[in-house]
Structure 1
Amino acid sequence: MPSSVPTITFIGGGPRSAGILERLTANKPGLFDGPLAIHIVEPHEPGSGRIWRYDQSPGLLLNSTAADVTMFTDGSVACAGPPVKGPGLAAWAAGVLDGSIRDVPPLEPHILEQLRTLTPASFPSRQLQGKYLEWFFRHAVAGLGPDAEVTVHRDTATAVEHSQLPDGGARYSVRLSSGTMLEAGLVVYSLGHTDSQTEPESARLADFAARHGGFHAAPSYTADVGYSAIAPGQDVLVSGMGLAFVDLLVLLFEGRGGHFENRPDGGLDYVPSGAEPRLWAGSRRGVPYHSKISSTLRGEPVGALRYFTAAAVESLLEAHEELDFRAQLWPLVAKDAGYAYYRELFTGYPERVRGGWDEFSARFDALDWYSREREDLVAAAIPDPALRLDLEALDQPFSGCAFADHAAVQRSVVSYIERDLNLRTSPDHSETLALFSALLRVYMELGRLVPQERLNSRSQQAVHGWWHGFFSFVDSGPPPHRLHETLALHRVGLLQFLGPGMWVRPDEASGRFVAGSFQSPVVVDAPAYIEARLPPPSVARSANPALADLHDAGWGTEQLLLTSDGPHSTGKLLVSSSHEVLAPDGGRQVGLFAVGPWTSGWGAGAFARPGTNAAPFRENDALARRLLTELAAPSAAHPGTGHPTSSHLLSL
């Protein structure tokens, strides 16, 4: 293409970049006419990227069913661009098998076997999801038309340089680790989950382990950590019981040759290989994330949110300069969650309640969630206290508990997991699904309804911290069978629970890590310690060279919140509501955009459930339209670039 062709360079080519490409495809006919050059800088396979790459354990699964995964912006999405129909993961798998989807490279035998056994309710492997994402990327590229050219650079971006244009715009050069320079009018940082340099405390623990011949794994993506130094039979402390913990169990047990067997009574046993360690696991809550739900609703559909609405938020914004999430927004969220939960109880299980739904809901409407009157209404209508929704107890299940000994901790955690599985997999407790659905709606709507800049600093911390953690704990847990496997590992003695409020410290006298719980007298020690969680975001200490350069060059800055203790950095890159990179003085960096969990935006995944007006699709559409509008302006026709021989070229 001529060097004057408008050019976009994406730093990162995973599923989020693929989603933006699809929106560029959909919006281009109405917003941009003429040739276009797009560069994708991605060291892994484009579409799947690092997290969903094929080169990982086949035992690692999605925590979503095949029916709940799509990359297509369907008609439910409230966006300016046109919706595009396309297969979600389940339909794509069926299409590959029946030949209706043909543009798929030959698949490995075990992937083909997964396709044959896949159902909409299956939890697919990440390897299979990666194949879907790679197909989607190629599909999006093919839709751009003959006047667009996409070049994939299997390389890593290390820096971005820019020069000012006479009209006030900018021209950028993206430096790759191979030494190649790519020129672009617009640059989009779309990197997904990135690593950070080791935090000082984790570095101190790693040094301790090295000096004493032990093992320490700092927070990281579990699939990228090497665990070969952990010996069979070795005791290992594990902090964190979320999704990284579930992955760890897969890698250290089935990944070392053990296997699970179904018992005649329907239970599950683990048969060790002899190569496994013994884990001692704890966390702040002391229990794993809640299981995904397999029940279906019995009662009336819940419908749209009733209290946390655009009108309610607008009313608050008119009355207050700044909003407080916990004081003003959370009560509306909680009431919507309660409304959905109790509606399912009343309309699906009338034998479990007193009175009718119409009478209850009319009275519920008029009461604040945090009011004695609402509590009295629920107590009178729901005879069984165990069926009354207590969101604080849900968030902190062992709050106020003092465990007498190790056995008490084990009984309590096991009982909690068993009850969770019963509530979420039994057909007789679909009220948990109604709660799940309401919280998911709120999670998807929060960024659309509430301008982030109108939240006070305390609330921005709460949204990115407590609210995200609570939502993940309740709605973003593992497949049910993973919790059955957790219990089986416990029964065979290879997994012990430390309980809530876990603490860990290095002991120089013994050369071992020591751990316990603030709510239990039990103290254990081990030569190995794994921090099973992702590292917190930090642009200043990013292990990604392009992000580190963005910060070090002074073009981007971390988001600062003013707290009672002074300025506090969230570690996230400060971006505008339009995903523009903002300079330390708050000015926008013309032509630089960033999207992903490491930015100060509301944060959304790369894919979502079909038909849910999903936040990532709304964001992708808005960003794609912004990029096309910028390119369509006469001043945006900045030089493109040639095509180095080290790149994989897709010419359309």
Structure 2
Amino acid sequence: MERLLARYAAEADAGRDARNATAPRRPLHIHLVDPFPPGPGHVWRTEQSRLYLMNTQAFFPTLIPDQGVAAAPLAGCSFNQWREAMRATPDHTLSGGDRTELAALAATGFPSRALYGRYLSWCFARLLEKLPDGVQVTLHAGEAKRVARDHERGGYGVELLNGETLRADSVVLALGHVESRLSPAQRELRDEARSHGLTYLPPAVPNDVDWDQLPAGETVLVRGMGLNFFDVLGQLTEGRGGRFEATGRGPGDALRYLAGGREPVIVGASRRGTPYRAKAELASYYPAGVALRFLCEEAVTRIRDMGATAGFDHDIWPLLHRDALWAYYTTLARTRPDAVSPGFLPALDALLHSGAGTDARDWAEQLKSLEGSHMAAGLALDLPALARPLQRHPLRPGGSHRFGSQEELDAAVLAYLSDDAAGSARGEDDPVKMAIGALNAGRAVIKSLVADRGITQESWLGELRGWFEGFVEGLASGPPALRMEQLAALVRAGVVHFAGPDPVFRIQHGIFSASSPWVADEPWQARHLVEALAPANRIQGTASRLLNNLQADGLVRPRVMLASDGGPVVTSGLDVSAPPYRPLDGAGLPVEGLYVLGLQLSSVQWGTAIAAQANAEYRSGYRTVLDADAIAADILA
């Protein structure tokens, strides 16, 4: 809507200048259809708990573009500009909770989702105040169930659940997160849980869940230790009257938890066995001291020139791996000069630039030899160990299990949490966090390459999605460092335990159990299981009436890619044309006047859930704004 208004106003001004008159222009009527308030929508509702935090700092997100578009915005600003304005002159729409949060929120702080929703509401209201002449906006607080071609008059009929049908020349599918059906395994677990009177909470938007159904004092298994895991923790601890207080002991042991008395016993489980690593405490989204020297503009241009023949493992990862190595070792040499010999960095630099034409295994051996001869033992960068910290530990002598008891596992995870929180506090002075910072910056470059269709389908499926996506998300998409300190305090207080890596969940003897092959102890047992995951973003398997009807009517279809063995793979998103993204119909033809924006582009873009970034360093940081701008231009043309 913002791009439609901006372009409409700019084109009207240009037309008046060309005619030197005020001739009327064809009117623009925008219908917004959403069962939730426009702006916050479903995820950013303003009444939700303030324990639900954003995963980006206040300086990061913006709804209003600040680069890359020709038509200037009519109203609004970035979230951080709004934060500063509201602190100086609070708007009458702010709640008491908003004002309290704003008073304590710095640019580097992590806002609540409720406060970000308030910003989105404010932007929407400002846009409505600035509607250009000839524009009308009508809100429909409901759900669309079908979009059908109007063969008599052209355009479309948009059918709403209340029976109303809207006439439209163009339709934009900006659906965001929609409901999904459970997987067969999840349905089986749910049905069996019901038959035994157990509580099974499937993947959901956390604010939609009634957390009171999980009783105090009982064991609760939580599957998944990504971002939703911390949402669950917050509701079952602070949300029940517990609180954290400072210990004065510094990063890694900065907090103690004072129980409220209504907490359950929480058991976290994931394939890694540990939560995602926390974000470093930085003044910018990417570390100021990290520059991509290998996955740089020249290299990206070379990869783009290859067309859709580049492979991630062959052409992209070796460059990004070198950037991560350089970020780690330059930080290590700067912060611990006693641990690295004086000749190491020049020798490393030469090796990193010698990759072309070198056998990968031979190059890796040269790197290992260089690391072994120039630095203190135990300091070499091991990226797989960062991603799977528990499994990379040596085997226990004489046994097949890494951990002899649940207590031993909890102690190992606590050490990991404390170490990671301390690393986050060091920020630019932590070598591990700077290596991760390089990976995160490289991810922004890769997003643009993917959107420009710069890698092969088999590489997308088997390499980028096959291993790198999960690897980099576990390192670079983690929670604020505060969450790691809080979790460590909860472990020390005996509120949270862990199941171990590669957990197996089943119902045995009428009760849930969770066991790990890495832990030689009895399985955890509980009457309650929470899936700490967002609903799956897949076109096939969606519970959205609209998406299912669009597929049934042949107006959209999921994208199918070819794997390395030549077999077809149905991917998560829609099959679409080049920008402005139009869905391809059942015959493979672009559907004129129908557009797709956001999450349902997950088969042609990588990382579609992230907000637009204010003052973005990389084009992928404002890709969604560019997509919206291209759609608006096509509609008005």
TM-score over 0.5 for the pair = yes
Equivalent position of 2:519 in the other structure: 520
Residues 464 and 180 of structure 1: CA distance in aligned 2, closer, same or farther (over 3 Å)? farther
How far apart are 1:378 and its partner, in Å?
3.8
How far apart are 1:384 and its partner, in Å?
5.0
How far apart are 1:304 and its partner, in Å?
5.2
- 1:190-201 to 2 correspondences below 5 Å: 190-201=174-185
AA in 1 matched with 2:64? F
Moved more, 177-186 or 340-349: 340-349
How far apart are 1:248 and its partner, in Å?
0.3
Equivalent position of 1:425 in the other structure: 425
| Aligned residues of 2:82 and 2:119 also touching (Cα < 8 A) | yes
| TM-score between both structures, scaled by the size of structure 1 | 0.85
2:59 corresponds to 1:72: no
2:76 corresponds to 1:89: no
Equivalent position of 2:618 in the other structure: 613
Query: Is the partner of 2:593 in helix, strand or coil?
Result: strand
Residue 193 of structure 2 is aligned with which of 195, 199, 209? Answer: 209
- 1:430-579 to 2 correspondences below 5 Å: 430-450=430-450, 451-452=452-453, 454-460=455-461, 462-464=463-465, 466-507=467-508, 510-522=509-521, 523-563=523-563, 564=565, 566-578=567-579, 579=581
Residue 46 of structure 2 is aligned with which of 54, 75, 79? Answer: 54
Instruction: State the distance in 2 between where 1:80 and 1:363 align.
Output: 44
Query: Is the partner of 1:442 in helix, strand or coil?
Result: helix
- 1:229-628 to 2 correspondences below 5 Å: 229-263=213-247, 265=249, 267-295=254-282, 302=289, 305-316=292-303, 322-347=309-334, 350-355=337-342, 357=345, 360-367=348-355, 371-386=364-379, 388-401=380-393, 402-426=402-426, 429-450=429-450, 451-452=452-453, 454-460=455-461, 462-464=463-465, 466-507=467-508, 510-522=509-521, 523-563=523-563, 564=565, 566-578=567-579, 579-599=581-601, 600-602=603-605, 603-604=607-608, 605-615=610-620, 617-628=622-633
Instruction: State the distance in 1 between where 2:73 and 2:382 align.
Output: 39
Instruction: State the distance in 1 between where 2:101 and 2:143 align.
Output: 32
AA in 1 matched with 2:618? N
How far apart are 1:212 and its partner, in Å?
1.0
| Aligned residues of 1:281 and 1:498 also touching (Cα < 8 A) | yes
Q: Deviations over 1:547-572 (max 9, x none)?
A: 22212222111222333383322232
| Aligned residues of 1:300 and 1:348 also touching (Cα < 8 A) | no
How far apart are 1:348 and its partner, in Å?
5.8
Instruction: State the distance in 1 between where 2:97 and 2:147 align.
Output: 41
- Structure 2's unaligned 5+ residue stretches are 16-24, 394-401
Instruction: State the distance in 2 between where 1:304 and 1:481 align.
Output: 27
Instruction: State the distance in 2 between where 1:631 and 1:219 align.
Output: 39
Moved more, 131-140 or 458-467: 458-467
Query: Is the partner of 1:340 in helix, strand or coil?
Result: helix
Query: Is the partner of 1:67 in helix, strand or coil?
Result: coil
AA in 2 matched with 1:469? G
| Aligned residues of 1:59 and 1:125 also touching (Cα < 8 A) | yes
Residues 607 and 26 of structure 1: CA distance in aligned 2, closer, same or farther (over 3 Å)? farther
Instruction: State the distance in 2 between where 1:427 and 1:66 align.
Output: 17
Instruction: State the distance in 1 between where 2:121 and 2:504 align.
Output: 41
Instruction: State the distance in 2 between where 1:64 and 1:127 align.
Output: 14
Structure number with the bigger relative contact order (C-alpha 8 A, sep ≥ 6) is 1
| Aligned residues of 1:23 and 1:624 also touching (Cα < 8 A) | no
Equivalent position of 2:33 in the other structure: 41
| Aligned residues of 1:69 and 1:609 also touching (Cα < 8 A) | yes
Instruction: State the distance in 1 between where 2:436 and 2:127 align.
Output: 32
| Aligned residues of 2:331 and 2:429 also touching (Cα < 8 A) | no
2:162 corresponds to 1:162: no
Moved more, 363-372 or 554-563: 363-372
Residues 464 and 300 of structure 1: CA distance in aligned 2, closer, same or farther (over 3 Å)? closer
How far apart are 1:382 and its partner, in Å?
3.8
| Aligned residues of 1:514 and 1:526 also touching (Cα < 8 A) | yes
AA in 2 matched with 1:38? I
AA in 2 matched with 1:324? G
How far apart are 1:541 and its partner, in Å?
2.5
AA in 2 matched with 1:288? P
AA in 1 matched with 2:625? N
AA in 1 matched with 2:584? L
Instruction: State the distance in 2 between where 1:331 and 1:582 align.
Output: 35
Query: Is the partner of 1:307 in helix, strand or coil?
Result: coil
AA in 2 matched with 1:250? G
Query: Is the partner of 1:344 in helix, strand or coil?
Result: helix
Q: Deviations over 1:264-319 (max 9, x none)?
A: 5454222222222111111010111111211569x995565322245434545656
2:139 corresponds to 1:152: yes
Query: Is the partner of 2:622 in helix, strand or coil?
Result: helix
| Aligned residues of 2:612 and 2:624 also touching (Cα < 8 A) | no
Equivalent position of 2:18 in the other structure: none
| TM-score between both structures, scaled by the size of structure 2 | 0.86
Moved more, 555-564 or 106-115: 555-564
Instruction: State the distance in 2 between where 1:432 and 1:609 align.
Output: 26
Moved more, 394-403 or 104-113: 394-403
- 1:125-144 to 2 correspondences below 5 Å: 125-144=112-131
Moved more, 365-374 or 34-43: 365-374
| Aligned residues of 2:61 and 2:611 also touching (Cα < 8 A) | no
Instruction: State the distance in 2 between where 1:591 and 1:177 align.
Output: 22
| Aligned residues of 1:21 and 1:624 also touching (Cα < 8 A) | yes
- Structure 1's unaligned 5+ residue stretches are 1-16, 633-652
AA in 1 matched with 2:349? S
| Aligned residues of 1:501 and 1:518 also touching (Cα < 8 A) | yes
Instruction: State the distance in 2 between where 1:285 and 1:562 align.
Output: 29
Instruction: State the distance in 2 between where 1:470 and 1:21 align.
Output: 38
Residues 349 and 610 of structure 1: CA distance in aligned 2, closer, same or farther (over 3 Å)? farther
Q: Deviations over 1:572-620 (max 9, x none)?
A: 2222331211123322111111122233231332232533235252332
Moved more, 469-478 or 318-327: 318-327
